[in-house]
Amino acid sequence: MQGSSTITRTRRPALDARGSRSSAGDGDSDLPMIAVILFAMTVSVGGLIVITLSHSIVETVLASVISVCAGALAVFGVRDLSRRPNEPRQRRR
């Protein structure tokens, strides 16, 4: 036999929900963004209910605008959450 070699293993943190190896308790919580997404989805669905039940064109237009804006906020929130943690945000030039 040539000689004994020892294999050292470094302990890596477990994969988190995004698939990255980050240590637990790093302070980067997704809960605020999840709360924003749930609130925006609730407002969007509420706007659709108001559109269905409204009798005035002003109510319909106002509820449509609020519903579309809340839906867009929810979509961008989900998009932000699905971005990998090491990816930089896209900047327009």
- The predicted model scores a pTM of 0.56
Smallest CA-to-CA distance from 39 within 79, 14, 11, 70 is with: 70
Looking at the structure of the chain, the number of domains it has is 1
Confidence at residue 62, expressed as pLDDT on a 0 to 100 scale: 92
Inter-CA distances, 86 with 18, 22, 71, Å: 11, 11, 26
Domain interval for residue 70: 55-83
Residue 75 forms part of a structural domain: yes
**Considering the domain boundaries, does residue 77 fall inside one?**
yes
Please indicate, yes or no, if residue 63 is contained in any of the structural domains.
yes
List of residues 6+ apart from 18 with CB closer than 8 A? 84, 85
69 is a domain residue: yes
Query: Is residue 23 situated within a structural domain?
Result: no
Sequential pLDDT tens for the chain (93 residues) = 566 666 666 665 566 555 555 555 555 678 888 888 999 999 999 999 998 998 899 999 999 999 999 999 999 888 888 876 666 666 666
* CB neighbour list of residue 74: distance below 8 Å, 6 or more residues apart: 37, 40, 41, 44
Residue 59 lies in a domain: yes
